[in-house]
């Protein structure tokens, strides 16, 4: 069995490396030379999304990252609609938790649900202000577009179960560029 793309080191996934023929959005995302954390605090559609930015960066980078996160929520919600699940809606506390975790992974250059010295997932979302009855987390490093990251998650049995868990209602997604890759965190829950 071939492991899901999200779990294979980027060096073994040449199709996820930057190429000059990538779309404009992916090109701008790859051009982020410094660490940039982005979160969306809006509805599922990118046009309705508001943003909270951790760190700094040119306005263009913020727009690209906001679009990536909004597009990711939209792609996930299309898959959820096919599974007859209600759409996920962005929740500020889950966004805060996801943003902090993506930033830590980018700083350490390590994909992990719990980094050394970091609280567990349940404690991270509680500290961010989310009181969950049920919650899950999905991570990825390398994908440059919303479609790539959602496809990688849907091709993984465990991550697919998270995205298509119809009991979940809220989501916080963060994409953080650093260390020549992108770091994705999805925190989903139900209060």
Number of H helices, E strands in the chain: 6, 6
CB neighbour class for 157 (10 Å; exposed up to 12, middle 13-18, buried from 19): exposed
pLDDT of amino acid 8: 36
Q: What's the pLDDT at 47?
A: 27
Residues of the chain with pLDDT under 70: 1-65
Give me the pLDDT at residue 120, please. 94
CA distances from 182 to 7, 85, 111, 131 (A): 14, 28, 11, 28
- pTM of the entire structure? 0.69
pLDDT at 179: 78
Q: Are 188 and 165 in contact (CB under 8 A)?
A: yes
- Write the CB contacts of 134 (distance below 8 Å, at least 6 apart in sequence): 165, 167, 168, 189, 190
pLDDT, tens digit, for every residue of 23-34? 333 333 333 322
pLDDT value at residue 90: 96
């Amino acid at each position: 069995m071939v492991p899901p793309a999200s779990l294979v080191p980027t060096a073994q996934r040449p199709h996820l490396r930057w190429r000059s023929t990538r779309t404009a959005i992916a090109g701008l995302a790859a051009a982020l030379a410094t660490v940039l954390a982005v979160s969306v605090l809006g509805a599922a559609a990118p046009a309705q999304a508001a943003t909270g930015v951790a760190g700094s960066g040119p306005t263009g980078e913020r727009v690209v990252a906001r679009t990536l996160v909004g597009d990711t929520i939209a792609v996930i919600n299309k898959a959820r609609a096919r599974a007859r699940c209600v759409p996920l809606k962005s929740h500020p506390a889950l966004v805060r938790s996801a943003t902090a975790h993506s930033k830590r992974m980018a700083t350490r250059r390590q994909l992990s649900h719990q980094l050394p010295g970091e609280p567990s997932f349940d404690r991270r979302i509680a500290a961010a202000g989310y009181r969950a009855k049920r919650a899950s987390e999905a991570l990825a490093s390398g994908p440059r577009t919303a479609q790539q990251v959602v496809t990688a998650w849907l091709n993984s049995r465990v991550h697919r179960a998270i995205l298509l868990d119809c009991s979940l209602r809220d989501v916080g997604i963060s994409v953080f560029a650093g260390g020549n890759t992108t770091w994705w965190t999805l925190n989903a829950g139900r209060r």
